[in-house]
A and B are shown apart, each in its own frame.
Chain A
Amino acid sequence: MRDVIAFIEQHAGTPRRVSFELATAAKDLAAELGGKAHAVVVGKGASTLANTLKNYPIDVIHVAEDADADAYLVDPLVDYVESVAKATGPAVILVPYTMIGRDVGSRIAARLGGGLTADVTEVHVGGGRVVSVSPKLGGLTVTSCAFKNVDYGIVAVRPNTFAAREQSGAGEVVQLEKPATKSYPIKIEDDVVEAAGELGVEEASTVVSGGRGVGGPEPFTTILKDLADALGGAVGASRAAVDAGWVPHSHQVGQTGKTISPQLYIAVGISGAIQHKVGMRTAGTIVAINKDAGVPIGEFADLLVVGDLFQIVPELTKRVREAKAVPA
């Protein structure tokens, strides 16, 4: 009987969507292993978030309302996850494959000597072992990995790959004790929010991305943003648009940006070079809008509409709003 731990990433009391995906995946995996699903929630707002987590199939919710987690980078989170891991002896610790999740996962793996699999899009038990499936080599191959020389591992899960399921579990809340007094090395002096309430491209189920064909910074905050908002999604960008300084790097999709798996990816004025393709080829559905019928994205998009993006995108936004009956 082996347990599964899900690290719940949150920022100032706001959980990331992937946290609920992990909570669900933890329970499903724990059921296969005959163990319990645990969640670890740390930082300001953790107690409130613990209540929300009761709507998801978690057996034990470990909570630490510790301001140090917001004042110091990553180390406090690692300490709390470590303490829960030591107390429960899990088979798997699930972390999101995000900036914070990668840091927590890699440090726990190094500290406890556990195995580590990254950018995982499927996890199951096969032949009594936990198997992680992840795309490699820019999505060219799919590898299945198991842990060896160690009986547990850390699995970093790509956001948007598991569906979150609202279903109450035992939801037992346990307050975590603050680890023995120690000084944390990296102080967060200021936390600056530049784009409040915006969903990141990694987590959005719909991403509307712009490339060179968009021609400048302005459409990213007007016509592309309007379409993304109408679809309840996020605005992404190709490397060309980021390198031109039109959009911040955090929006970049592709080899030197983010690798994402939204349900719907709309590529606007993006030619679809290999460097871009590796970042979005696992999207559910790909729609491209381009003035050139011969662009590489036409080779792998589910639909390529050839036409003027400046005419099509605003019309599309209008129609989507009508379809969803969302007032403009």
Chain B
Amino acid sequence: MKIVVTVKLVPDTNADKRIDPATKRLVRTGVETVLNPFDEYAIEAALQLKEKLGGDTTVTIFSMAPETGKEIVRKALAMGADDAAMLSDAGLEGSDVWGTAYAMAQALKKVGFDLIVCGTQSTDAITGELPGALAEYLGVPGLTYLRKVDVDGTTVRGERETDNGYQKVVAELPALVSVTKSINEPRYPSLKGIMGAKKKTITTLSLAELALDRPVGSDGAKTEVLDLAAAPVRGKGRMVNASDGADGARIIVEFLREKKLL
């Protein structure tokens, strides 16, 4: 069985990000790129499935990213995946969710898969729309927000998180799943894994190799940014020391009344 995990490269959340007031664009200089934290759960889920299923099960990392992202893809390989495929093409720049999902779907068809495992969202765009759009373009069942996933023969089943519990869902392979952070605790790459990852194959695909029937990148995008403004800064408010519980409660109640929240 072939499991493919989609990963994204994102700016580090801890990095000091700022907007250039003149260009209204994100200043990327000096901002470190990392593996999207949500995708680590997807990699771990795929590796656990491989360990359970054994046999000829393989895990392939897939990323749509510039070739400079190779080193980060290698980190995913160091966790234990077998190989990787990247869709890298300057023509993809400026793609929106729609173009990204469409181009990725065509590339994933070429890579081949029985099961695709995605994180639920990325920490930069946070649209959370990619898994659904991918499933639609691939024409496979999309089992999203799983906190448990298992494969038995040609069947995939899982527990899908809901707001007040979960749903047991089941579908036939090939399929796509997205997994939440409650599914597992991602492993750290071992030294052996890191050394081994250097020898693993990373295949690169370009748009010319895909049979695209519509424009992608900024030309094909269905959305355009009209304006990008710095969000209003949340200033420092009041700080009050409470002498005891009743005093603290009194301070808060007075504050809530002032704000007409009580």
Given contacts A136-B125, A249-B161, contact A106 B130 (CB under 8 A): yes
Tell me the residues in window 221-266 of chain A with beta carbons closer than 8 Å to chain B beta carbons: 242, 248-250, 252, 255-256, 259, 263-264
Interchain nearest-CB distance for A294 vs B (Å): 10
Say yes or no: is A123 at the interface (Cβ < 8 Å to chain B): no
Tell me the residues in window 278-317 of chain A with beta carbons closer than 8 Å to chain B beta carbons: 278, 281, 285-287, 289, 293, 298-308, 310-312, 314-316
Say yes or no: is B26 at the interface (Cβ < 8 Å to chain A): yes
Size of A's binding interface in residues, CB under 8 A: 99
A305 touches B141 (CB 8 A): no
A141 touches B231 (CB 8 A): yes
Say yes or no: is B208 at the interface (Cβ < 8 Å to chain A): no
Given contacts A187-B171, A274-B13, contact A119 B223 (CB under 8 A): no
A144 touches B226 (CB 8 A): yes
* Residues from chain A with Cβ under 8 Å of B101 in the complex: 106, 110
Interchain nearest-CB distance for A157 vs B (Å): 13
| Cα A156 to Cα B253 with chains together (Å) | 35
Given contacts A118-B126, A145-B225, contact A264 B256 (CB under 8 A): yes
B249 touches A319 (CB 8 A): yes
Of the listed stretches B109-117, B162-170, B194-202, chain A binds B162-170
B19 touches A141 (CB 8 A): yes
C-beta contact mask, B21-52 vs A, less than 8 Å → 1, else 0? 00000100000000001100000000000000
C-beta contact mask, A167-206 vs B, less than 8 Å → 1, else 0? 0000000000000000001111111111111101010001
Report which of B124, B227, B261, B262 forms a contact with A143, defined as CB distance below 8 A. Answer: B227
Say yes or no: is A320 at the interface (Cβ < 8 Å to chain B): yes
A315 touches B163 (CB 8 A): no
Q: DSSP class of A's interface residues: helix, strand, loop or mixed?
A: mixed
B126 touches A298 (CB 8 A): no
B237 touches A303 (CB 8 A): yes
B262 touches A323 (CB 8 A): yes
* Residues from chain B with Cβ under 8 Å of A65 in the complex: none
| Cα A143 to Cα B32 with chains together (Å) | 23
* Residues from chain A with Cβ under 8 Å of B74 in the complex: none
Say yes or no: is B248 at the interface (Cβ < 8 Å to chain A): yes
A140 touches B238 (CB 8 A): no
Say yes or no: is B68 at the interface (Cβ < 8 Å to chain A): no
* Residues from chain A with Cβ under 8 Å of B37 in the complex: 255-256
Interchain nearest-CB distance for A223 vs B (Å): 11
Say yes or no: is A117 at the interface (Cβ < 8 Å to chain B): yes
B231 touches A103 (CB 8 A): no
Cβ contacts A to B, 14 pairs, < 8 Å:
A105-B132, A107-B136, A115-B98, A143-B225, A189-B157, A192-B168, A194-B165, A256-B181, A259-B126, A286-B237, A300-B237, A307-B247, A308-B244, A320-B253
Known: A105-B132, A302-B238. 18 other contacts (CB 8 A): A99-B144, A109-B98, A110-B137, A144-B228, A145-B225, A146-B224, A153-B222, A188-B167, A192-B167, A192-B168, A259-B126, A264-B261, A305-B241, A312-B245, A312-B248, A315-B246, A320-B253, A320-B262
